[in-house]
Structure 1
């Protein structure tokens, strides 16, 4: 399998137009292509720089000529979960007709879209990229050949990966930021590049307070790492 990540600018994609006109981004949580109608149904997480930016982006979507269906599933502040059905884009058609397939979620921001696509053979990947160049602007962010052993490992280790992701989500904003700063400034290195005192000054709290935050964050992440290791075994 040839796995390629593309940074794509499409001229007929509602999400790209909305992200280009407004300070908003879109990330796919689910997608399904209907071959009977040549339409793509997606569930997207839409995020705006603020509430007004999100309102503007969703309005661009609702009125876009290539959008068929729109449903607001939920919303909180400057983030929303939406369901849409859009026309097949020209780039999507080229990839599908050439035997390519989507291997990961879309992410759209600032007028471009990050695609993860796969091909079974090198010649199929090369031919598709050549055809895409005729009508699209894109950069190949990464390209690699994935062997069967790698695919098996990815599938088998998906549970472990999700466990680690959930561990990150368990962290409060304060715990996450404290751990990030502690790692970046060398608190866990030997010799230490930072101390409890310097971290306390950075966050304008007492040393016992920053120590407690670090212990909570470490406890949450280490317990998830242990669960992930058990899943790998």
Structure 2
């Protein structure tokens, strides 16, 4: 299979399981939402895929991207393959300027498909504030900066952890529009961990719902009329454990 293939991922911290046998596929150019409430296992899944889980975590299963297998914990190999993570927390270096954050991203990048100047042209607000400390940016500006840093180099898959969390509605709308545009322009695949079902049609093509580390539903389309069903599954209000819409 092309794209990202995750097969029976299991993650635990001591005796506490976080992800239990999760299997999913993100096709080339596709955006998939990984949906669930807090504690569902979304962040652990993304950190595992980025090779960034703590060494104390126990992990099993397999990950391939573009038909290449990756050992768990190898961040550099994933970056070299074009897999980039935008974390939920600690998105930017607060005591460095916007420009310095982007330069750090460039220093880690493999290839020059996307450069610092490209990011500044995509996000005019970041260009205006390029000499501002990242810690003085608004939440939306920090999210844009984190996305920009992740795009520098040769990304082909981005992992976004709770990108709408804590942001005002107009900021989320702008972010979603930018993400759609850049995905189309760069041919990006995306896996988006999200707990707010309202924004799913704007972030992804389809959704996988997880609960306590297990997949409980797969929505193969994302339209406004599907949101109530997704919300019910997330809250455990639906008796159906497998929901599949063609």
With normalisation by structure 2, the TM-score equals: 0.27
Q: Which has the larger radius of gyration?
A: 1
Which has the larger share of helix?
A: 1
Normalised TM-score (structure 1):
0.28
